[in-house]
């Protein structure tokens, strides 16, 4: 005789929440039914849904959706840390972006999230030596989302790139965990250095819209870079820098500015 069914806790509460949100979205707006089914409800897991979503965005006359989807699925199957990072990014956006009310939104609509997940696949290909495929992914992400991240750049987990348009991250850049940045951020070279020539951004850093961080300089953990700054020198941890060229204008004001998204520069930087 079959055992009575026990009330077992969900093994994937993030995916369960996404499914619940997707069902509600279809109930509320039947016109979105086909789209939401294709992107979410048709799939058995977050990795399957993401593979579909990335493929739908990156496919072109030059590479079919089927081929891109297979490439993404293979990457997810061979490196589970990609999905771990995709989940951390999703939760980061949900927690930090006041315009994000559902886990569903970044997967369906936010190009910062979609661009970072596609970059992660490109970086995986790069690390395996599949350079041309990696460049192809970089090109399509740049064409589709206006976000240009070199596949060799190293980017941690829990990343939010809000609005995302015109973000450029160079080949030897390193971005730590739990970093938040806004549109038009450049992590670039000065043009005067060769080889290792891009910034190294610590954990928990908040980089405001339009900030340019140039050269092989370190931005310390949990610092804030004000919108529109041009950062040419190393930034110590837990400070706020602003201006062109950027200077320290105060403390970061909290332990984790990238998570609190506190943009206020007060007299003590709080
Ligand atoms: C302008 C640039 C070429 C440097 O020129 P340089 O003549 O070698 O300048 P230096 O680094 O010697 O700095 C000279 C002064 O200009 C300032 N300076 C340098 N670059 C600056 C910039 N972009 N904006 C404002 N001031 C800048 C420096 O702080 C320094 O000021 P100081 O003398 O008061 O200390 C370089 O900093 C730059 O902006 N390159 C463009 C990089 C770029 O677009 N990268 C994106 C790649 S994706």
- In ligand 1, the atom with minimum distance to the C-alpha of 233 is 29
DSSP string, 213-237: EESS-EE-TT-EE-TT-EE-S-B-T
Nearest residue CA, atom 13 of ligand 1?
232
In angstroms, what is the span from residue 247 Cα to ligand 1's centroid? 14
* Spatial distance between the Cα atoms of 41 and 10, rounded to a whole number of angstroms: 17
H/E stretch holding 118 reads helix 111-127
**Looking at the DSSP assignment, which residues form a beta bridge with residue 181?**
161, 207
Q: Per-residue b/e over 187-207, b at no fewer than 16 CB within 10 Å?
A: bbbeeeeeeebbbbbbbbbbb
Cβ-contact 92, 158 below 8 angstroms: yes
**Looking at the DSSP assignment, which residues form a beta bridge with residue 148?**
168
Res 4: pLDDT:
55
Check if 217 has its Cβ closer than 6 Å to any atom of ligand 1.
no
Is the preceding peptide bond at 238 cis, omega within 30 degrees of 0? no
Question: CA torsion sign, 134 to 136 to 139 to 143?
Answer: negative
* Spatial distance between the Cα atoms of 221 and 201, rounded to a whole number of angstroms: 7
**Complete domains list, the chain, with CATH:** 12-147 (1.10.3130.10), 153-270 (2.160.10.10)
- In ligand 1, the atom with minimum distance to the C-alpha of 244 is 25
Check if 215 has its Cβ closer than 6 Å to any atom of ligand 1.
no
* Spatial distance between the Cα atoms of 224 and 71, rounded to a whole number of angstroms: 37
Check if 152 has its Cβ closer than 6 Å to any atom of ligand 1.
no
Nearest residue CA, atom 40 of ligand 1?
190
Nearest residue CA, atom 26 of ligand 1?
245
Nearest residue CA, atom 31 of ligand 1?
245
* Spatial distance between the Cα atoms of 212 and 199, rounded to a whole number of angstroms: 10
Check if 245 has its Cβ closer than 6 Å to any atom of ligand 1.
yes
Check if 232 has its Cβ closer than 6 Å to any atom of ligand 1.
yes
The CA-atom distances, in angstroms, between 180 and each of 49, 59, 137, 184, 193 are: 24, 28, 23, 13, 26
Residue that is written with structure tokens 């977050």 in the block: 46
- DSSP summary character for residue 265: -
Res 257: pLDDT:
81
In whole angstroms, what separates CA 125 from the centre of its chain?
A: 17
Per-residue pLDDT of the chain (270 residues; tens, 9 = 90+): 555 555 556 688 999 999 999 999 999 999 999 999 999 999 999 999 999 999 999 999 999 999 999 999 999 999 999 999 999 999 999 999 999 999 999 999 999 999 999 999 999 999 999 999 999 999 999 999 999 999 999 999 999 999 999 999 999 999 999 999 999 999 999 999 999 999 999 999 999 999 999 999 999 999 999 999 999 999 999 999 999 999 999 999 777 787 777 655 554 433
Residue that is written with structure tokens 């079919």 in the block: 64
**Hey, what are 192's tokens?**
């005067």
Res 256: pLDDT:
73
In angstroms, what is the span from residue 263 Cα to ligand 1's centroid? 26
Check if 168 has its Cβ closer than 6 Å to any atom of ligand 1.
yes
In angstroms, what is the span from residue 246 Cα to ligand 1's centroid? 11
The residues near 51 (Cβ < 8 Å, ≥ 6 apart) are 69, 72, 73, 76
Cβ-contact 154, 120 below 8 angstroms: no
């Amino acid at each position: 005789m079959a055992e009575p069914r026990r009330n077992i806790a969900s093994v994937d509460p993030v995916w369960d929440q996404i499914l619940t949100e997707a069902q509600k979205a279809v109930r509320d707006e039947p016109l979105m039914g086909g789209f939401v089914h294709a992107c979410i409800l048709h799939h058995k897991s977050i990795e399957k849904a993401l593979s579909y979503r990335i493929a739908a965005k990156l496919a072109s006359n030059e590479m079919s959706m089927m081929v891109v989807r297979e490439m993404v699925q293979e990457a997810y199957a061979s490196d589970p840390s990609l999905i771990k990072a995709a989940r951390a990014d999703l939760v980061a956006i949900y927690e930090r972006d006041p315009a994000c009310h559902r886990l569903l939104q970044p997967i369906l609509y936010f190009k910062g999230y979609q661009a970072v997940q596609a970059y992660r696949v490109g970086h995986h290909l790069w690390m395996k030596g599949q350079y041309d495929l990696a460049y192809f992914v970089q090109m399509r992400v740049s064409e589709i989302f206006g976000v240009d991240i070199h596949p060799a750049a190293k980017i941690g987990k829990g990343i939010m790139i809000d609005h995302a348009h015109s973000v450029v991250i160079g080949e030897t850049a390193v971005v730590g965990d739990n970093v938040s940045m806004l549109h038009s951020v450049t992590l670039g070279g000065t043009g005067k250095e060769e080889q290792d020539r891009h910034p190294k951004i610590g954990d928990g850093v908040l980089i405001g819209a339009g900030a340019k961080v140039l050269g092989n300089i370190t931005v310390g953990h949990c610092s804030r870079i004000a919108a529109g700054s041009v950062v040419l020198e190393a930034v110590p941890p837990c400070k706020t820098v602003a201006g062109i060229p950027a200077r320290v204008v105060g403390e970061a004001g909290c332990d984790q500015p990238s998570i609190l998204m506190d943009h206020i520069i007060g007299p003590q930087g709080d």
